Amino acid sequence: MVKAALLALALLSGGAEAACRQALALGLDISGSVDAQEYGLQLGGLAAALLSPEVAAKALASPETPVHIAVFEWAGKSQQRLLVDWTALRTPADLENIAAILRGTQRVSRKGATAIGHAMRYAEGLFRQAPDCWSRTLDLSGDGKNNDGPSPRTVSEGDAFKRVTINGLVIGSDNTMGRDERQMEIMDLSAYYRRRVIHGPGAFIEVALGFTDFQRAMERKLLRELEGLVLGQLR
């Protein structure tokens, strides 16, 4: 039934010219506050989340109108690196290949500011190379506020993001002493992401209590992003 509905929507929205239901770009924070273990937890967590049965089922629900995914990492102004170029998700092998790339990636830089606005501008270039999908989503994970370059809100309010929904995954610190202190830190960063980062219809944030919680949070977020399309969002 889901597949039939998606095919009907494809015909209504342009058929073969837009045979892609979602372009999903995922940006991972590798700024100086992220150590080697936390870097591995992010990449490994994303790989495991993509391979989880629930996420895989939603991602592969309609191979005739696939989700396309790209993954990049970001830190300071000129510190962005593409890890996975736009890839159509049609079979379990597609997800397995992406997971293998992520798990085999070695960190290049261990320093860098937190330039969320520049990460958005990098994603802007990625979306220019993406297929003409029914919806476009930028998914930014981060453990801190913007401290380099333009304000994220200034960038997201530009014309390039009129068709893009920006969601956020806020990561708390595993090193924060005390439960109350951690909760305050997460609440503060979550409020910042709501005010300055997320953008567009239905935009939301997910919270990881720390990098050790990243896989669970990423899986929840992907499930929500892949749940389906609202007819009013189709172009």
pLDDT at 156: 97
What tokens does 209 get? 């209590």
- Predicted pLDDT of residue 178: 72
Overall average pLDDT of the 89-109 stretch: 97
Q: What is the CATH number of domain 19-228?
A: 3.40.50.410
Q: Write down the pLDDT at residue 227.
A: 85
pLDDT(63) > 70: yes
C-alpha span between 40 and 180 (Å, rounded): 27
Show the 3-state SS of the chain.
CHHHHHHHHHHHCCHHHHCCCEEEEEEEECCCCCCHHHHHHHHHHHHHHHHCHHHHHHHCCCCCCCEEEEEEEECCCCCEEEEEEEEEECCHHHHHHHHHHHHHCCCCCCCCCCCHHHHHHHHHHHHHCCCCCCEEEEEEEECCCCCCCCCHHHHHCCHHHCCEEEEEEEECCCCCCCHHHHHHHHHHHHHHHHHHHCECCCCCEEEECCHHHHHHHHHHHHHHHCCCCCHHHCC
Q: Which two tokens stand for residue 152?
A: 């994220």
Does the pLDDT of residue 196 top 70, yes or no?
yes
Residues 11-45: pLDDT tens digits?
A: 444 444 558 999 999 999 999 999 999 999 999 99
Q: Predicted confidence band at 174 (pLDDT cuts at 50, 70, 90)? A: confident
pLDDT score at 2: 45
Q: What percent of the chain has pLDDT over 70?
A: 88
Q: What is residue 176's predicted lDDT score, i.e. its pLDDT?
A: 59
Report whether pLDDT(6) > 70.
Answer: no
User: For the residues 183-199, what does the mean pLDDT come to?
Assistant: 96
Nearest residue to 92 (alpha-carbon basis) of 66, 113, 126: 66
Kindly indicate the confidence band of residue 116, based on its pLDDT and cuts at 50, 70 and 90. very high
Domain locations in the chain? 19-228
User: How large is the average pLDDT for residues 85-107?
Assistant: 98
Contacts of 126 (CB under 8 A, 6+ apart): 25, 70, 72, 82, 86
Say how far apart CA 104 and CA 195 lie, in whole Å: 35
pLDDT of residue 179: 74
